[in-house]
Amino acid sequence: MSLTRQDRLQALGLWPTWRLRVAAPVGIEPLSPAQESAPAPLESAPPEPVPLAVVPSAPMAATPALPVVPCIRESSPIDAMNWDALLAEIKSCTRCELAKSRTQAVPGVGDIHAEWLFVGEAPGANEDRLGEPFVGDAGKLLDAILAAIGLARGSNVFIANVLKSRPPGNRDPKPEEVAACLPFLERQIELIQPRLIVALGRFAAQSLLATDTPIGRMRGQVHRYRGVPLVVTYHPAYLLRNPLDKAKVWEDLVLARDTMHALKN
């Protein structure tokens, strides 16, 4: 069944509160006290809809060119693998200690020729069990985020994580685990050749951009990963704990959507 734009925004919890304005950056209507105390979306019925006035946005200001992230690691056999060989290597990988505790590796899911690439941190318990990234409540919210800008999992979209194996207890990845696993993601990006990357959360953004800049300072601009435009936003799991920050994510989605439109024009 085809979803209307209103249906997509309701699923994400953005209707009718968030409205696009003419001025840039995108303005967000303040939340009322009742909305601030409301439970997190996806678990409660949406409010009664009101008309959403969408005014054509002003042209985006030119974003200063940012340096391309260089490849600073030594070459490896991974760099020459085709897609099937890469998936087999990920699933049988023993490059770090996570291989001993995982149920299975989680390579990623979606269209291997996608224009959109969404990158998260690492598999959680559900992902480790099912072998697919972003399942459970965070996955449902990501699906709603995709729908809000007219996308769907598996259709011109690929979803992956920096780490392909779950850290025990969902702890933060260790530097040596990132060093072992990042070449897999780098090769996936080379093979997919996305037109735009969306980094979901601080860890994904910092890993791809080789920086320790806080996520709040990375948002709101278009970065470059080896020439590919990259937009930074919050991880869906973070939004489940901090639903009021969905306003910021909507700003990031609009930036990503407008950037993709500009790439095609």
Closest CA to 182 of 101, 91, 121, 97: 121
Say how many C-beta atoms besides its own lie within 10 A of residue 97's C-beta: 15
H or E stretch covering 196: strand 196-200
Q: Give the CATH number, domain containing residue 179.
A: 3.40.470.10
- What number of CA atoms fall less than 13 Å from residue 103's CA on the CB side? 10
Residues 59-69: what's their mean pLDDT?
42
- pLDDT for res 92: 96
Task: Give yes or no for residue 90 having a pLDDT over 50.
Answer: yes
Residues 182 and 203 sit within 8 Å (Cβ to Cβ): no
Kindly report the pTM of this predicted structure. 0.75
Tell whether 49 is covered by a domain: no
Mean pLDDT over the full length of the chain: 81
Question: Is there a domain that residue 250 lies in?
Answer: yes
pLDDT of residue 67: 41
Q: 148 lies in a domain?
A: yes
Which residue did the predictor score with more confidence, 35 or 254? 254
Sign (positive/negative) of CA torsion 233, 239, 242, 248?
Answer: positive
The total of structural domains in the chain comes to: 1
For residue 5, the model assigns a pLDDT of 55
Higher pLDDT, 5 or 41: 5
> Containing domain of residue 143, as a range?
73-264
Q: What is the pLDDT of residues 219-251, one digit of tens each?
A: 999 999 999 999 999 999 999 999 999 999 999
**In the structure, what pLDDT confidence band is assigned to residue 73 with cuts at 50, 70 and 90?**
low
Mean pLDDT confidence for 122-130: 95
Q: What is the pLDDT of residue 13?
A: 58
Among 53, 46, 57, CA closest to 12: 46
Give residue 256's pLDDT band: very low, low, confident or very high (50, 70, 90).
very high
Distance CA 258, CA 253 (A): 8
* pLDDT value for 7: 58
Position 75 scores a pLDDT of 74
pLDDT at 217 over 70: yes
Q: Note the pLDDT tens digit of each residue in 144-157.
A: 999 999 999 999 99
> Which one is predicted more confidently, 82 or 62?
82
For residue 33, name the pLDDT band (cuts at 50, 70, 90). Answer: very low
Do the domain assignments include residue 30?
no
DSSP 62-127: PPPP-PPPP--SPP-GGGG--HHHHHHHHHT--SSGGGGT-SS----EE-TT-SEEEEES---HHH
Give the model's pLDDT for residue 15. Answer: 55
Residue 88 lies inside a defined structural domain of this protein: yes
**Tens digits of per-residue pLDDT, 158-189?**
999 999 999 999 899 999 999 999 999 999 99
